[in-house]
Structure 1
Amino acid sequence: MSVKVNIENLVQELQNGEEQALATIYDMYADALYGLILKIVKDDGLAQDILQDCFVKIWQKAQTYDASKGSFFTWMLNVCRNKSIDELRKVDRHRKGKDEIGHATDYQKQGIERNIDTIGLKDIVDDLPDDQKLIVEYLYFKGYTQQETSDELNIPLGTVKSRSRMAIKALKDSFVIVLLIWIQKNI
Structure 2
Amino acid sequence: MSTLLEKHIVELLRERNDKAISLLYEHYGDTLLGVANKVVRDEELAQDVLQESFVKIWKKSDSYDASKAKLFTWLFRITRNTAIDKLRSVNTKSDKEIQIDVSDVYNLGVNSTRPEFMDVRENLEKIETKYQIVLDALFFQGMTQQEASDELDIPLGTIKSRLKIGLRELKKIYGPTLLLVLSINLIP
TM norm structure 1: 0.52
In 2, the alpha carbon distance for the partners of 1:28 and 1:94 equals: 33
Q: Quote how far apart the aligned CAs of 1:9 are.
A: 2.1
Structure 2 partner of 1:65: 64
Residues matched between the structures, number: 105
CA distance in 2: counterparts of 1:97 and 1:30, whole angstroms:
33
Task: Give the SS at the match of 2:67.
Answer: helix
1:75-86 superposed matches below 5 A: 75-86=74-85
Aligned-partner Cα distance in 2 for 1:5–1:69:
17
Residue among 98, 101, 105 paired with 2:102 = 105
Give, as a single letter, the amino acid of the residue that structure 2 aligns with 1:20.
K
Which is richer in helix? 1
C-alpha distance in 2, partners of 1:105/1:14? Answer: 52
CA distance in structure 2 between the aligned counterparts of 1:56 and 1:44, rounded to whole angstroms: 19
Q: Deviations over 1:64-87 (max 9, x none)?
A: 101111101100100001111011
List alignment gaps of at least 5 residues for structure 1: 114-187
1:57 deviates by 1.1
One-letter amino acid of the structure 1 residue matched with residue 8 of structure 2: N
Larger Rg: 1
Specify the SS of the correspondent of 1:68. Answer: coil
Separation in structure 2 between the aligned mates of residue 30 and residue 6 of structure 1, nearest angstrom: 15
Percent identity between the aligned chains?
36
Aligned match of 2:14: 15
Aligned equivalents of 2:41, 2:9: Cα separation in 1: 31
RMSD of Structure 2 on Structure 1 (CA): 2.2
Instruction: Please give the TM-score of this superposition, normalised by the length of structure 2.
Output: 0.52
Equivalent position amino acid for 2:6 in 1? I
1:11 Cα deviation from its structure 2 partner: 0.8
Structure 2 spans left out of the alignment, 5+ residues: 108-188
Q: State the match for 1:41 in structure 2.
A: 40
Question: What secondary structure sits across from 2:16 in the alignment?
Answer: coil
The CA distance in 1 between the partners of 2:34 and 2:5, in whole Å, is 24
The one-letter code matched in structure 2 to 1:64 is: S
CA distance in 2, matches of 1:12, 1:30: 19
Q: Which residue of 1 aligns with 2:49?
A: 50
Query: Secondary structure at 1:18's aligned position in 2?
Result: coil
Aligned counterparts of 1:58 and 1:106: Cα–Cα separation in 2: 42
C-alpha displacement of 1:95: 1.4
Give the letter aligned to residue 104 of structure 1: D
- The change in CA–CA distance for 1:96 and 1:87 in structure 2 (over 3 A counts) is same
- Distance in 2 (alpha carbons) for counterparts of 1:81 and 1:12: 23
Q: Secondary structure at the match of 1:70?
A: coil
1:82 corresponds to which letter in structure 2?
N
Please tell me the residue identity of whatever aligns with 1:45.
E
Q: What is the DSSP-based 3-state SS (H/G/I as helix, E as strand, rest coil) of the residue aligned with 1:67?
A: coil
- How far did residue 106 of structure 1 move? 2.8
